[in-house]
Structure 1
Amino acid sequence: MFPFVTRRGTKRIVRRAASRIAKALTPAGSGTRKAARSSAAPSGGSTLAEMRAKMRAGAAPEGPAPGRFVEVDGVRVHYIARGKGRPVVLIHGNGTMAEDFVLCGLLDRLAARYRVIAVDRPGFGHSPRPRHRLWTAAVQAGFLDRVLTRLKVENPLVVGHSWGTLVALALATGGSRELRGLVLLSGYFYPSRRADVTLSAPLALPGFGDAARSLIPRAMGRALAAQSFRHVFRPQPVPARFTARFPVEIATGATQMRAATEDAATMNNAAAVMEHRYRRLRMPVAILAGDADAVVEAEEQSVRLHREIAGSTLKRLPGIGHMTHYAARLQVERAIDGLMKPGAGTRTP
């Protein structure tokens, strides 16, 4: 789950944002209009108008996209689809995008035998994140359901990684769509005390969060992203192909940074809403977790979920960190293939 900001860095950004907003709201009568405009401008040279433009930002990034687009609820959603056959849907985690499944090699390998669809969740990659709704895991699951309907996807196997497991479970427990099963990678399923949730709360506030995030210089954003990449891949090194090809400029852009902080701030509530529904799941569920995960505690999350869902399988991955689809891709493929076998997609109540 990335990008993240340190506790000290967050406090500094929040203080600076509060100061800038206070200056911007200072009545012109307290000084000359020119002085008021000058005091509202940050030292980096941005004007108040530019700051407001950043605060309104919700559009997808410009530039070529690796996949296709479909419009749902007035939102132009980006997705990557390859292969033919029975459908497998991939849901990415926080701070990343559908392209992540291409870089790790999972999407293309699965596409040799299945129809594989990876969707940029709202605000990530090349999908915008409209501000007129609160994009909780449940709302994103309902939105994804309508995307899959537009793409004529029926009875898919849904694979979620990290924060994406919350969307996968919301889709499964919502009951609006028949699923072949779930494969949950490095997931977060139960609320807990997390520093990233606490630190993201002020940065997720409308208006204030936009102003605070606009204070992060682009160079600092790239440095924080690099630090975050090392953290989520630990103890494995960051793969060279990821370093070379992952779209850092998109990941640290205004829209995705807003989406990432909002998702981090709402993850505990999303888990709390759903945790009492897990026992009612009546579909095949495969759970994979690295025992060296520095982001999510496997014992508190994946092992506990396995105990709650009757008939689920759990694969503990020795020495593997959070990015299981990179470091343990073959094991992930086997779990998917296992649930895609004829007869594997059914379970007796």
Structure 2
Amino acid sequence: MMHTDTLAPEPSPETLQLLDSRFAERSVQTADGVQCYREAGSLPAGGTAVVLLHGIGSGAGSWLHAALRLAARTRVIAWDAPGYGNSARLQPASPGAEDYAARLHQMLDALGIERCVLAGHSLGTLMATAYAHDLGKKRVARLVLLSPTRGYGNPALAERQQAVRAERLRTLDEVGIAGMARTRPAKMLSSKPAPEALAWVRWNMERLDTAGYRQAIEMLCNADMARYAPAPVPVEVHSGDEDTVTVPANCRAIAEMFGAPYGSIAVSGHACHIERPEAIAAILENAYAAATAGAAPN
């Protein structure tokens, strides 16, 4: 489905109050600098946490409504990736997914998370698969990929890589973060998005850091998810049935690459965790139940 640019509204004061009161920003010091995250719920001794990694145009706050639905069950942690929010940027100007995975490892060490269900959205799925493939293979009990992107690091995609990099950098230079946040949220959602969803995409996008976003563009262009398949942990893949960014056919192909089950999320565009937080919470609750029961993928 095609979307036209629509001026997104501002989020309600009630949503922002909920964010501040129940999913407030926190930080931890890592070897590579300050790492910020949001947290809800609590973790029983020896329990399994849920860890959430956002996409390229978003941030930790985007998980608010899904995280609060999960908080009664366990500890839920959503990070602001390096270069996002108040998290320290990575050192390389052109980082790989492994660089983000290394910071994730440091953060989870610092937070005392020994076991988790790891969920990534969009660009976050590259970070998640890189982490589970190597540093996190003993920590990640189950991997949930939402609206995954394969990346453009395959040499066969060299021309596409150049086009994607050029288009994203041109948009950033021409309209800036503020312009992107005002006009692009509709592209992230279904054909008939709710104003609240548009507002929440906008709010999270407005908080992008230009330098951090440029690093993330480089990672998107450098990475190839095929490097991390097969995974050493159970994997499942889900995407919106109206996703025009990581289209369903491509998400199914990623599921096949991992030998993983694929699920379609009804009435949802790319930002499925914002548009359908109740559906995402249910997916993550099932993943948590499977991980804690030692069950195989559905």
Which category of TM-score, normalised to the shorter sequence, fits these structures?
0.7 to 0.9
For the residue of structure 2 that corresponds to 1:331, the secondary structure is helix
CA–CA distance in 2 between the matches of 1:231 and 1:132?
30
156-165 or 130-139, which deviates more = 130-139
Q: In the alignment, which residue of structure 2 is the partner of 1:22?
A: none
Within-5 A mapping of 1:6-155: 66-85=24-43, 86-102=48-64, 105-131=65-91, 134-155=94-115
Q: What are the Cα deviations for residues 161-196 of structure 1, in whole angstroms up to 9, with x where unaligned?
A: 010000000001114442110111111025353654
The answer to whether the Cα contact below 8 Å between 1:95 and 1:124 also exists between their aligned partners in 2 is no
CA–CA distance in 1 between the matches of 2:277 and 2:147?
13
Structure 1 residue aligned with 2:220, among 267, 270, 273? 267
5+ residue gaps, structure 1: 1-63, 204-211
| Alignment partner of 1:239 is 2:189 | no
Within-5 A mapping of 1:210-229: 213=173, 221-229=177-185
The answer to whether the Cα contact below 8 Å between 1:236 and 1:321 also exists between their aligned partners in 2 is no
Q: What are the Cα deviations for residues 55-105 of structure 1, in whole angstroms up to 9, with x where unaligned?
A: xxxxxxxxx993111111241111111111330000010121101111xx0
- CA displacement at 1:318 relative to structure 2: 4.0
CA–CA distance in 2 between the matches of 1:249 and 1:290?
23
Q: In the alignment, which residue of structure 1 is the partner of 2:16?
A: none
CA–CA distance in 2 between the matches of 1:263 and 1:328?
25
CA–CA distance in 2 between the matches of 1:122 and 1:169?
17
The answer to whether the Cα contact below 8 Å between 1:110 and 1:333 also exists between their aligned partners in 2 is yes
Q: Counterpart amino acid of 2:237?
A: I
The answer to whether the Cα contact below 8 Å between 1:121 and 1:140 also exists between their aligned partners in 2 is yes
Q: Counterpart amino acid of 1:313?
A: P
The answer to whether the Cα contact below 8 Å between 1:90 and 1:118 also exists between their aligned partners in 2 is yes
231-240 or 71-80, which deviates more = 231-240
Structure 2 residue aligned with 1:199, among 155, 167, 170? 167
- CA displacement at 1:340 relative to structure 2: 1.5
Work out the number of aligned pairs and report it. Answer: 263
257-266 or 281-290, which deviates more = 257-266
For the residue of structure 2 that corresponds to 1:341, the secondary structure is helix
The answer to whether the Cα contact below 8 Å between 1:79 and 1:118 also exists between their aligned partners in 2 is yes
- In structure 2, relative to structure 1, the CA distance for the partners of 1:248 and 1:96 (3 Å cut) is closer
5+ residue gaps, structure 2: 1-19
- In structure 2, relative to structure 1, the CA distance for the partners of 1:276 and 1:140 (3 Å cut) is closer
Q: What are the Cα deviations for residues 197-236 of structure 1, in whole angstroms up to 9, with x where unaligned?
A: 3324689xxxxxxxx84xx67xx64233222112112424
Within-5 A mapping of 1:293-308: 293-300=243-250, 302-308=251-257
Q: What is the TM-score normalised by the length of structure 2?
A: 0.78
CA–CA distance in 2 between the matches of 1:296 and 1:347?
26
CA–CA distance in 2 between the matches of 1:227 and 1:336?
30
- Higher CA-based Rg: 1
- In structure 2, relative to structure 1, the CA distance for the partners of 1:289 and 1:99 (3 Å cut) is same
- CA displacement at 1:117 relative to structure 2: 0.5
- In structure 2, relative to structure 1, the CA distance for the partners of 1:327 and 1:247 (3 Å cut) is closer
Q: In the alignment, which residue of structure 1 is the partner of 2:264?
A: 316
79-88 or 190-199, which deviates more = 190-199
- In structure 2, relative to structure 1, the CA distance for the partners of 1:314 and 1:132 (3 Å cut) is closer
Q: What is the TM-score normalised by the length of structure 1?
A: 0.67
CA–CA distance in 1 between the matches of 2:91 and 2:133?
26
Q: Give me the identity figure in percent.
A: 26
The answer to whether the Cα contact below 8 Å between 1:283 and 1:346 also exists between their aligned partners in 2 is no
The answer to whether the Cα contact below 8 Å between 2:56 and 2:123 also exists between their aligned partners in 1 is yes
For the residue of structure 2 that corresponds to 1:332, the secondary structure is helix
Q: In the alignment, which residue of structure 1 is the partner of 2:145?
A: 184
CA–CA distance in 1 between the matches of 2:192 and 2:146?
16
Structure 2 residue aligned with 1:330, among 268, 278, 284? 278
The answer to whether the Cα contact below 8 Å between 1:165 and 1:187 also exists between their aligned partners in 2 is yes
Q: What are the Cα deviations for residues 238-274 of structure 1, in whole angstroms up to 9, with x where unaligned?
A: 53265278255522xxxx1222233123313211xx4
Q: Counterpart amino acid of 1:118?
A: A
